[in-house]
Amino acid sequence: DGSKLSEIQSYTASRRVQPDTNMFGAARGRNVILVSMESLQSFVLGKTVQEEPVTPFLNQWAKNSYYFSNMYQQTGQGKTSDAEFLIETSLYPLDRGSVFFTHAGNEYVAAPEILQRHGYYTAVLHANQKSFWNRDYMYPSLGFNRYFHDADYQITPETSAGWGLKDREFFQQSIRHLQSLPQPFYAKLITLSNHFPFELPKQDQLLPEYASTDRIFSRYMQTVRYMDEALRSFVEELKDAGLYENSVLVFYGDHYGISANHYQVVASYLQKPEIRPFDALQLQRVPFFVHIPGHKGKEVTAVAGQVDVKPTLLHVLGIVPKADLHFGRNLFAKEEKPLTVLRDGSFITSQYLYTAGTCYDKRTEQPVRHAACRPYLARAKKELAYSDRIVYGDLLRFLAGNEWKRKENQTQFHERRVK
Ligand code: GP9
Ligand code: MN
């Protein structure tokens, strides 16, 4: 019942000591174009293969956007879907399984739903089967009006590679879907080409080959380079379609693409003797960009997580929801003791990094006494436990101001499924 929620609400409220910043409402009323960048990790940004940049477009993009260089991915087994969950709800995904499958029928106060109530039309665009990750059931619960999936795209052998429609084609074909939406809209586009096992025909390989016996890593560099190119042309196409100026563009990496099986080559690529637990955690950083046309942007180095995207976005849109609950924070406001918790309980603060029971000093990269991390450890555990309690107990049903949903909920769950 409601009392279970109130303890959690006092916790999240106490964490929310976030004043307005000069970014409040900076993108008020604009369309939101969100891009989930498949398997993109931060370590490739600014890097080269045989002197050729791996991400020429994103390197540039980082200079004219708010670029959050210390954002960590917080996903679990639900991979892309967990990243979506974090971004839309500012809750944590579960420690096992995919919350998209296990709790699609829950009540949420997700960003699309909040934006819908503020006059936005909300859509997802992704050229894969609509039932993948149970998206067709989950999206209505998050507040999406429309889901463009594989049936809405022309997918031929020539336009496909690996998992399906190539990103460049996907973006091209998405333009007319975006043009068909009522404005302002909130549209999330989910890329696919940079997905394991990173397959790409010769003519799309734009980078010299990275010489290594680890084929997966070499191919990853190629598909990252390809996605970078696809993003570059997408922004051009948005400009041509007249959809750039009146939008805010939010790009995020969903989760890692290079698993621990490939750390030997990662170590040699990064010119490190080995990937220690400290390095492995630092590799969990994913790029996050908030690009507002007309803004110069800047690099924000504060520790951040995907859970922070929703409050950050609402802040730049100038929206203060009537009913809301989130674990993340607005990244434009200064936080004295920022804490980013990963799904496995590891965490990162301004000074320390904690993983597998060891506390490290980020500056020296060496273990320090456990006591240094202890004050954060309790908070980290609490965050995950509270979030789990909400998901397992479907507690947002009891959120004050959320009552209107109870009526809607009387509709059979299966009828809410995306058409
Ligand atoms: C599938 C795509 C990839 O539609 O989002 O999912 P992933 O395997 O990365 O979770
Ligand atoms: Mn993914």
Distance CA 314, CA 323 (A): 13
Averaged pLDDT in 10-residue chunks for the chain of 419 residues: 87 76 96 99 98 98 98 98 98 98 96 97 98 97 97 97 96 98 98 97 96 96 98 98 98 98 98 98 98 97 98 96 93 94 98 98 98 96 98 94 58 51
Pick the ligand that lies closest to the CA of residue 191.
Answer: 1
User: Residues annotated as binding site for Mn(2+)?
Assistant: 38, 80, 254-255
Question: Which residues are known binding-site members for substrate?
Answer: 195
**Ligand 1 pocket, mutate which of 35, 37, 38, 194 (most atoms under 8 A from CB):** 38
Name the closest-CA residue to atom 5, ligand 1.
80
User: What atom in ligand 1 is closest to the CA of residue 36?
Assistant: 5
For residue 79, which atom of ligand 1 is closest to its CA? 10
Tokens 């996605």 correspond to 227
Nearest CA to ligand 1 atom 3: 80
The reply to whether ligand 1 has any atom less than 6 angstroms from the CB of 195 is: yes
For residue 406, give every residue at least 6 positions away whose Cβ sits within 8 Å of its Cβ, in sequence order, or none.
Answer: 397
Ligand 1 centroid, distance to 197 Cα (angstroms): 12
Ligand 2 centre to CA of 334 (Å) is 30
Q: What pLDDT, on a 0 to 100 scale, did the predictor assign at position 415? A: 54
CA of 79 to the centre of ligand 1 (A): 7
Residue 24: count other Cβ atoms within 10 Å of its Cβ: 18
**Residue 258 one-letter amino acid:** I
Ligand 1 mean position, distance from CA 140 (Å): 19
ipTM, 2 dp: 0.99
DSSP state of 95: S
Beta bridge partners of 259: none
Strand 31-37 with 185-190, pairing:
parallel
| Cβ–ligand 1 contact at 132 (below 6 Å) | yes
Residues making up the annotated binding site are 38, 80, 195, 254-255
CA distance 170 to 155: 9
Q: Is 80 close to ligand 1, i.e. is its CB under 6 Å away?
A: yes
User: Contact at 8 Å (CB) between 368 and 359?
Assistant: yes
Nearest Cα residue to atom 6 of ligand 1: 80
- What is the helix (H) or strand (E) element at residue 296, kind and residue range? none
Q: How many residues does the chain have?
A: 419
Ligand 2 centre to CA of 46 (Å) is 22
Residue 292: CB partners within 8 Å, gap ≥ 6? Answer: 26, 27, 30, 65, 66, 248, 249, 316
Specify the residue with its C-alpha closest to ligand 1, atom 9.
80
pLDDT at 20: 74
Task: Write down the pLDDT at residue 414.
Answer: 46
Nearest atom of ligand 1 to the alpha carbon of 126: 4
Minimum-distance ligand 1 atom for the alpha carbon of 38: 9
Q: Write out the catalytic residue numbers.
A: 80
The DSSP letter of residue 199 is -
Q: State how far the Cα of 268 lies from the Cα of 193, in Å rounded to an integer.
A: 25
